[in-house]
């Protein structure tokens, strides 16, 4: 199946919610776990048990695993394998971006069949130029995976670049959206190039009307994003919008049943 077909199937079964696995040190503390690889593994696998088969997409944040070195990356590999084994789509939040052979190596790591770090999609940064992402775009298309390209992020510093105006009068964010729109053109039910647009950015000031791809909307829940914000930003037709909640759900751990109940409450609110 194409990535768009996989997403459509997942949403039909579980709705559009994406839940993050963010083993932030403060959350390890809150769960009564040590800030060690052992604590990381316990946290991550508990989240996998709760989220696998409950939501359409799970998004492990790679940085919190990489912080523990090779043993932490090994935990991330197991998280990816276990979630995919449960039939849950995995979006690896790694925000990779580079040029030439280096970007090709990132694509090999996160988008190639057989790589232990390859989920079903990966987040990428286009701020070395959208064309620098070509190796990742090609690898995703060849293997039925997806890429989610940063477009309008919720951090205040992002506006310095994303809302800057290019010589043709478009904002940088609009340029990214237009490139992604062209890449997805003619693909049904939606393309394999997604966008990351924060749920707490205020106003988008961009044209998303012709975009035929999934939109990841982080910041829903604990960071302040609401259903009303989603409707205001994306309009009433949000079939390809994936609100993302991490801390708002993870704060209910370490009890698995409490995590499952939290996921179901958030899912029903959507």
Give the span between the Cα atoms of 88 and 14, in whole angstroms: 10
**13 burial type by CB count under 10 A (0-12 exposed, 13-18 middle, 19+ buried):** exposed
Left if phi > 0, otherwise alpha if psi is -120 to 50, otherwise beta: which for 220? beta
Closest CA to 244 of 230, 254, 261, 259: 230
- 221 contacts 234 by C-beta, under 8 angstroms: no
d(C-alpha 162, C-alpha 203), whole Å: 13
Question: Which one of 6, 9, 95, 251 is the catalytic residue?
Answer: 95
Q: Is 59 a catalytic residue?
A: no
In the chain the first and final C-alpha atoms are separated, in Å, by 26
Helix (H, G, I), strand (E, B) or coil at 227: helix
Helix (H) or strand (E) holding 166: none
Instruction: Determine whether 166 is exposed, middle or buried from the number of CB atoms within 10 Å of its CB (0-12, 13-18, 19+).
Output: exposed
Active site residue ranges: 95
């Amino acid at each position: 199946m194409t990535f768009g077909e996989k997403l459509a199937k997942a949403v039909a079964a579980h709705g559009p919610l994406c839940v993050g696995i963010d083993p932030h040190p403060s959350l390890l503390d809150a769960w009564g776990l040590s800030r060690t690889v052992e604590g990381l593994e316990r946290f991550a696998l508990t989240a996998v048990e709760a989220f696998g088969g409950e939501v359409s997409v799970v998004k492990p944040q790679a940085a919190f695993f990489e912080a523990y070195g090779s043993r932490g990356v090994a935990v991330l590999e197991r998280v990816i394998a276990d979630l995919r084994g449960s039939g849950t789509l995995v979006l690896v939040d790694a925000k990779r971006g580079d040029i030439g052979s280096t970007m090709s190596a990132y694509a090999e790591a996160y988008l190639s069949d057989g790589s232990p770090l390859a989920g079903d999609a990966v987040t990428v940064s286009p701020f070395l130029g959208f064309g620098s992402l070509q190796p990742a775009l090609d690898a995703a298309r060849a293997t039925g995976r997806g890429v989610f390209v940063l477009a309008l992020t919720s951090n205040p510093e992002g506006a310095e670049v994303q809302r800057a105006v290019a010589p043709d009068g478009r904002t940088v964010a609009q340029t990214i959206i237009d490139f992604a729109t062209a890449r997805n053109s003619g693909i049904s039910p939606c393309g394999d190039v997604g966008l990351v647009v924060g749920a707490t950015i205020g106003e988008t000031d961009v044209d998303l009307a012709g975009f035929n791809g999934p939109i990841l909307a982080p910041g829903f829940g604990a960071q302040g994003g609401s259903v009303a914000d989603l409707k205001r930003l994306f309009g009433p037709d949000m079939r390809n919008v994936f609100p993302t909640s991490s801390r708002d759900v993870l704060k209910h751990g370490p009890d698995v049943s409490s995590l499952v109940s939290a996921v179901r409450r958030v899912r029903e609110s959507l």
